[in-house]
Amino acid sequence: MVIVGNDPATVEADLVERRLMCPDCLSALVPWGFARERVLKDGLVLRQRRSICPEESCGKTHVLLPEDCLARRHYRAEVIGEVLQDVFVGHKSFEDVARLAGVPPDTVFDWLRCFRRNAVVIARHFARWLAALLPGRALPERRGPAAVHALEMIGAAAKAASLSLRTRPPWSWASKMSGGWLLSNTRSPWPLPD
């Protein structure tokens, strides 16, 4: 999985001109067909590009996922992020948030459970991003529940990345910085504890 921009034409040009790198060995990826089409709940059709690493010792294939999406989630990252924010920071009930967002309550419940379960490692992961992007700056201290702190760290890291690298919406940065696996039930992109 490699997170790329939202414009398919730009992604295609980057892939063909070998500007996208294999996350495992940093070789330039080459085109490798398409993954099965996915339709998100808001109607966005994703015809996901696949790529392969030409390096003989690696040879891994990678799906290219647009940055406003998360792996294996059927809603855009921004919708998911706003739901997390409204429940954990806004203290709204998940049933109300689900209704207002037009998302089934079971789906929202799963997002909340997954985020809460990984909140400590998520906060640590984004703290590392923040420290790398703004070296020497003091990191925000945890003042409340782990999930709230994790959201603060995501927000701070995304802001730092938009300032230092290029402007993207915060939840696109969250997707990019977690390799698309921010809310995964089956795979952990998080480093082992120090």
Contacts with Zn ion by CB under 5 A lie at: 22, 24-25, 27, 53, 55, 58
Give CA–CA dist 180/154, Å, rounded. Answer: 14
Q: Which contiguous run of DSSP H or E holds residue 120?
A: helix 119-133
Q: How far is the CB of 125 from Zn ion (least distance, A)?
A: 22
Helix (H, G, I), strand (E, B) or coil at 103: coil
**166 Cβ contact list (under 8 Å, min separation 6):** none
- Residue 61 or 93: the one with the smaller Cβ distance to Zn ion is 61
Q: Which residue has the tokens 């690696």?
A: 58
**90 Cβ contact list (under 8 Å, min separation 6):** none
Q: How far is the CB of 25 from Zn ion (least distance, A)?
A: 3
Through-space distance between the first and last CA atoms of the chain, rounded to whole angstroms: 25
- Residue 12 or 55: the one with the smaller Cβ distance to Zn ion is 55
Give CA–CA dist 60/5, Å, rounded. Answer: 21
Q: How far is the CB of 60 from Zn ion (least distance, A)?
A: 5
Q: How far is the CB of 21 from Zn ion (least distance, A)?
A: 8
- Residue 24 or 95: the one with the smaller Cβ distance to Zn ion is 24
- Residue 56 or 141: the one with the smaller Cβ distance to Zn ion is 56
Residue type at position 57: S
Q: What are phi and psi of 152, to 5 degrees?
A: -60, -45
Q: How far is the CB of 51 from Zn ion (least distance, A)?
A: 10
- Residue 63 or 151: the one with the smaller Cβ distance to Zn ion is 63
